[in-house]
Amino acid sequence: MQLVPTICTYCGTGCGLYLAVEEGKAVGIEYLSAHPASEGALCPKGNALLQILYHPDRLLYPQKKENGAFKRISWDEAYGIIADKLKEIISIYGSDAVAFYGSAQCTNEENYLLQKMGRLLGTNNIDHCARLCHAPSVAALAATLGSGAMTNTIHGFADSDCILIVGSNFTENHPVISRWVLDAKEKGAKIIVVDPRYTPTAWFADSFLQLRPGTDIALINGMISVILKEKLYNYNFIEERTEGFDDLGKSLVNYSLQEASKITGIPEDSIKEAARLYARAKNASIIYCMGVTQHRSGTDNVIALSNLALICGNFGRPGTGINPLRGQANVQGSCDMGVLPSFFPGYVKISDKAQRKRIANLWGVEDLPTQPGLTIVEIINAVHDGRIKGAYVMGESLMVSDPDTHHVEEALHKLDFLIVQDIFMTETAALADILLPAVCYAEKEGSVTSTERRVQWRHKAIEPPGEAKADWKILCELAEKMGLAEKFMYNSAEEILIEINKAIPAYGGITPARLKENIGGLCWPCPDSSHQGTPILHISSFRTPSGKGIIKPVVHREPAEIPNYEYPFTLTTGRLVLHYNSGNMTRRSPSLNKRVPEVFVEINRKDAEYLGIKPDERVKVISRRGSVEAKALITRRVAPGVVFLPFHFPGVNRLTIAELDPVSKIPEFKVATCRIEKVADQVGEQ
Ligand code: SF4
């Protein structure tokens, strides 16, 4: 038996494990105790990793849609059709009539190649699911700290004296992170949890603040007001390392704790207590997730947290910092690789002529497209407007992940040409014109970057099923048909990473050889091969042009939809420990799916009583955009007037709203309004 080290394919924690391989078959999992973030631990999803490898639903060969049905074709025919059709669209409508979707499930090398292909074809219409989770972190933290990534490490949470957790249910969504937070708690740290739901993460809070959905800024500004009034801020740090403190003070002169309490629904004393706990701690960290970002004020929400950390001087030491927990296994890496419409690899702005030229030179072309491309929701709107005619989707299921599914479905039907490259027949793949079978984590090699900027190597353990191929291989072979052969002369993922080492300075020293040798890889920035990586950012200066942290006043804005007579409930969505994002893998994983096989809606027991809904009764959740049938889960986890649905099931995003944050263009997944009807009532009425 051979033990092959690999990285879990699910969440951004990036846990390491060994796959046990016997006669070419993955037969088991062994725990990798030397891993710095997981130390051998795996959550239920990690433990179920083998179940998707040999699943009978795996896509085995290329297919084309003919008369509404899929028909098996050869790779050569598939590449020929794709190349002809993309060239035709570009020649008639221009390069910006095509859009590319990268995948946080794929490796850095594959995402790098996808965006390179899009850009060499002349478009920046390149995006991926970071738009739906942490685009506000990238925008806000880049503006305030000069880098949009987690500042500290996962194991470093154990060194905190106080941890402020906002909109993150990591006990379910990044379960292995819990062990480090619990470690801190056992050593005496105070834990503050801010969430509209009483989640399993809230169970171990010293202080739980159950805020009204969409009121994060009102709360954080309330805490900042207390800190200013009681002079609990870090004067020396503010003087030496920040800009904008006076403006923050002025912006909050007339903001009372009473107002903060009224907007958030949190008692004044609880806001005061949280502010004092955070500000008085020697080393305090902030952990946040999509509860903060998935709002139309997502960027400002993150800026508010950044302001709080800056005025208290909580940067550059173990157990401090501001730490966005990234969702998918390689969402950090996909952003780093430039699968973003406004940035080339390494967060080079499209408008930065010198840096754009540097990358163009590396790729052997004169220049690259100069106009920012469209984001995920904007691409769908552009399809409706007739501006986008073709889309290449690598490992992403828009039909489950994107807001307002009905609008997405109409757009995908309207496209002239849709290519989907995936491991299963997803709800999106079913609408494709050409379907390409890709391989999953154990069947290919390459690097992935976890939420703590830890770049790690995934070794190939087994051969792929049928004719399935690695995404990087598919892109190289397609490039040949597209006339880009000499720009895609790679024989391995290693060769692509060597080009990435040149393209992205922060990855300069993260070479294939070093990653293959090191369990736990290296945290970027790691500029050269003698550098040991950077687990903690901003130790002596920030990465802004002035080297200082930028404090920017922000104000509360109401969500786009407010409950009314017709839609009296606030609907919020999120994740479960047993499922993962669009559910394409976990819904096919028997040990996970049998425990939560269908969508449910959490309803407060007072609301259920008022509506006459019994536990497990089937109800219809109806928003302005659509409806979904779900099993009623009557609970105290949500406050009266709020309902929660897990978004892993098709149909849930028929309810959500595509209202966008103006800066980061993230949709407001976390707040919509709805009503609940008993299914029995509807049957009776018909
Ligand atoms: Fe995988 Fe995340 Fe679970 Fe770790 S915590 S085993 S990376 S799903």
Ramachandran angles phi, psi of 653, nearest 5°: -80, 5
Residue 527 in domain: no
Q: Pairing between strand 390-394 and 98-101?
A: parallel
Q: CB under 8 Å, gap of 24 or more: what pairs does 250-256 form? A: 250/553, 251/553, 251/555, 252/221, 252/224, 252/225, 252/228, 252/553, 255/221, 255/222, 255/225, 256/225
Atom number in ligand 1 closest to CA 44: 3
Distance of CA 355 to the CA centre of its chain: 27
Residue 489 in domain: yes
Domain boundary among 304, 324, 344: 324
Do 664 and 575 fall into the same domain?
yes
Do 174 and 128 fall into the same domain?
no
Would residue 122 be called left, alpha or beta, if left means φ above 0 and alpha means ψ between -120 and 50 degrees? Answer: left
**Token pair recorded at residue 50:** 């083998």
**Domain of residue 168, CATH code:** 3.40.228.10
Q: Pairing between strand 600-604 and 627-635?
A: parallel
Q: What's residue 337's pLDDT?
A: 98
Do 100 and 187 fall into the same domain?
no
Do 48 and 71 fall into the same domain?
no
The enclosing H or E element of 605 equals helix 605-611
85 CB within 6 A, ligand 1: no
Q: Which residues on adjacent β-strands are paired with residue 572?
A: 644
643 CB within 6 A, ligand 1: no
175 CB within 6 A, ligand 1: yes
* Contact between 440 and 423 (Cβ < 8 Å): yes
Q: What's residue 684's pLDDT?
A: 47
How close is the Cα of 14 to the center of ligand 1, in Å?
A: 6
Would residue 493 be called left, alpha or beta, if left means φ above 0 and alpha means ψ between -120 and 50 degrees? Answer: alpha
The 10 Å Cβ neighbour count of residue 91 is 10
Distance CA 334, CA 449 (A): 8
Do 74 and 175 fall into the same domain?
no
Residue 522 in domain: no
Q: Pairing between strand 627-635 and 190-194?
A: unpaired
Residue 554 in domain: no
Do 212 and 174 fall into the same domain?
yes
Q: What's residue 260's pLDDT?
A: 97
Do 163 and 296 fall into the same domain?
yes
Query: What's the burial of 567, exposed, middle or buried (CB within 10 Å: 0-12/13-18/19+)?
Result: middle
Residue 24 in domain: yes
Do 372 and 454 fall into the same domain?
yes
Atom number in ligand 1 closest to CA 174: 5
Atom number in ligand 1 closest to CA 329: 7
The enclosing H or E element of 642 equals strand 642-646
| Protein residue with its CA nearest to atom 2 in ligand 1 | 11
8 CB within 6 A, ligand 1: yes
Atom number in ligand 1 closest to CA 13: 7
How close is the Cα of 652 to the center of ligand 1, in Å?
A: 24
Domain boundary among 488, 504, 520: 504
**Domain of residue 99, CATH code:** 3.40.50.740
How close is the Cα of 400 to the center of ligand 1, in Å?
A: 21
**DSSP secondary structure letter of residue 506:** G
Q: Which domain holds residue 12?
A: 2-52
Do 68 and 47 fall into the same domain?
no
**Domain of residue 588, CATH code:** 2.40.40.20
**Token pair recorded at residue 33:** 């105790």
Strands annotated E in 450-578:
454-458, 522-523, 549-550, 569-574
Dihedral angle sign, alpha carbons of residues 300, 129, 211, 270: negative
Mean pLDDT per block of 10 residues along the chain (686 residues) reads: 95 96 96 95 94 93 96 98 97 98 96 98 95 91 94 97 96 95 97 96 95 96 97 97 97 95 97 98 96 95 98 97 93 96 96 96 96 95 97 93 92 97 95 97 96 97 97 97 95 97 98 95 97 97 96 96 96 88 86 90 96 95 95 95 91 90 92 93 49
Angle between helices 353-363 and 493-503 (to 10 degrees): 150
Do 16 and 104 fall into the same domain?
no
How close is the Cα of 13 to the center of ligand 1, in Å?
A: 6
Do 278 and 410 fall into the same domain?
no
**Domain of residue 10, CATH code:** 2.20.25.90
138 CB within 6 A, ligand 1: no
The enclosing H or E element of 224 equals helix 216-229
Rg (CA), the chain: 24
Residue 394 in domain: yes
Do 118 and 163 fall into the same domain?
no
Mutate to test the pocket of ligand 1, among 174, 178, 325, 579 (most ligand atoms within 8 A of CB): 174
Q: How many CA atoms lie within 13 A of 550 on its CB side?
A: 17
Distance CA 217, CA 553 (A): 10
Count how many domains the chain has. Answer: 4
Q: Which residues on adjacent β-strands are paired with residue 163?
A: 191, 285
| Protein residue with its CA nearest to atom 4 in ligand 1 | 15
The predicted model scores a pTM of 0.95
Domain boundary among 448, 480, 504: 504
Residue 531 in domain: no
* Contact between 138 and 526 (Cβ < 8 Å): no
Residue 274 in domain: yes
Q: What's residue 686's pLDDT?
A: 38
The enclosing H or E element of 620 equals strand 618-622
Atom number in ligand 1 closest to CA 580: 8
43 CB within 6 A, ligand 1: yes
Ramachandran angles phi, psi of 605, nearest 5°: -65, -30
Q: What's residue 680's pLDDT?
A: 72
Nearest to 651 by CA among 681, 616, 627, 618: 627
* Contact between 68 and 460 (Cβ < 8 Å): no
